[in-house]
Amino acid sequence: MTLLTWSETLTLGFPPMDDLHKEFVDRLCDVEHSSDTELPGAWANLVACTERLFERENGWMRSSQFSSTDNHTIQHRVVLNIMREGLAMARAGQSAEVHTMATELASWFAKHIQSLDAALALHMRTSGLAADPRNTLPH
């Protein structure tokens, strides 16, 4: 069973955000399929990916004066702090706990995309900000 699979239900129609979300799902899949010895590296890659994702979303929210910025960025901060604790746990050999954390993270992420991120993507598209080249990601 896969924790989270990229699908159309996770696509928000704002390609820079969708690309970052897909990368997160890919890194989470790497965690799911990693051995105990591979887990610390896979989790570190997931944390780094999440830092980039959240930094980019936080920047979009700040630059566009998005109305739900405070709530959204608080969620990002809390989740990233928990993920950093998970990295310490992975490095300490607590693989079972980290895999449980990955399962919970997958559930949270799907809900986060379909609620808070969907609102941000809609805001970016309807305000015309999605067309601004500064809001796209280099390929």
- In this predicted model, what pLDDT tens digit does every residue of 84-93 receive, in sequence order? 999 999 999 9
**Domain range holding 86?**
13-135
Q: And the tokens for 125?
A: 């598209």
Residue 2 lies in a domain: no
Least confident of 1-5, 47-51, 62-66: 1-5
Residue 1 lies in a domain: no
Residue 118 lies in a domain: yes
Cα(122)–Cα(27) distance, integer angstroms: 25
Give the chain's domain count. 1
Residue 129 lies in a domain: yes
Residue 49 lies in a domain: yes
Residue 119 lies in a domain: yes
- In this predicted model, what pLDDT tens digit does every residue of 12-54 receive, in sequence order? 999 999 999 999 999 999 999 999 999 999 999 999 999 999 9
Cα(114)–Cα(12) distance, integer angstroms: 8
Residue 40 lies in a domain: yes
The CATH number assigned to the domain holding 89 equals 1.20.120.50
Q: And the tokens for 34?
A: 């990693």
| Band (138; pLDDT cuts 50, 70, 90) | very low
Residue 31 lies in a domain: yes
**Contact call for residues 19 and 137 (beta carbons, < 8 A):** yes
